[in-house]
Amino acid sequence: MEATANFLLSDLKKAQPISGWEDFWGEGKAFLKTASAAYAQQKKAFTTVILYNIIAMAIEKFVMTALMCEGKLPYNHTMKDLVEAMDEAFPGAMPDIREGLLQLDQYQEICDLDTFNIAGPAMAEIPLMLDLAGRLQDLVEQQLLAGKRES
């Protein structure tokens, strides 16, 4: 058969899961557990900037788990990029947490050296961030991973 530039849409195969998503899932749960425990115990070593970053890592790991299960990856790893990738892969799945996730980008701009900025959240904001990460974990576990465990 001669190769041509023409093909049928039926020739395209569904994206396959990317291996290693289970590791991301476990890491996300561990990050969230660490941040939750550190906040609950009010450990002084865990500043709001450190707690924010641990929570952000948990969120990133949960998003990567969901995307990898679908054979997809985000273009970048800002919260905006992660939310956009989730919206594309799972339209309408995150209406209750989408805006909260996007708001997390306001605390750090570290991609461009000219606009590098880190502003720590107030301690009163940490429980909201923990709740947001927990809700994302629940969403990924209940809605997105359910099929992976059955197959």
Domain parsing of the chain, residue ranges: 20-146
- The fraction of the chain above a pLDDT of 70, given in percent, is 81
Coil, strand or helix at 21: helix
Please report, in angstroms and rounded to a whole number, the separation of the first and last CA atoms in the chain: 35
117 membership: H or E segment, kind and range: strand 117-118
* Full-model pTM: 0.83
Average pLDDT of span 53-63 = 96
Residue 25 in this model has a pLDDT that exceeds 80: yes
What's the token pair of residue 148?
Answer: 């992976």
Banded model confidence at residue 112, pLDDT cuts 50, 70, 90: low
Give the torsion through C-alpha atoms of 145, 125, 81, 32, to 10 deg. Answer: -40
Q: Percent of the chain having pLDDT more than 90?
A: 66
Q: What is the 3-state secondary structure (H, E, C) of 52-113?
A: HHHHHHHHHHHHHHHHHHCCCCCCCCCHHHHHHHHHHHCCCCCCCCHHHHHHHHHHEECCCH
> What does pLDDT average to over the chain?
86
Q: With cut-offs at 50, 70 and 90, classify the pLDDT of residue 13.
A: low
Q: Which comes out higher in pLDDT, residue 145 or 50?
A: 50
User: How far apart are alpha carbons 25 and 21 in whole angstroms?
Assistant: 6
- CATH code of domain 20-146: 1.20.120.330
Phi, psi (rounded to 5 degrees) for 121: -70, 165
The amino acid present at 15, given as its one-letter code, is A
The pLDDT tens digits of the residues spanning 132-141 come to 999 999 999 9
Predicted confidence (pLDDT) at residue 121 exceeds the cutoff of 70: yes
Give the mean model confidence (pLDDT) for residues 31-42. 97
Mean pLDDT, residues 106-125 taken together: 73
- Is the pLDDT confidence value at 73 over 60? yes
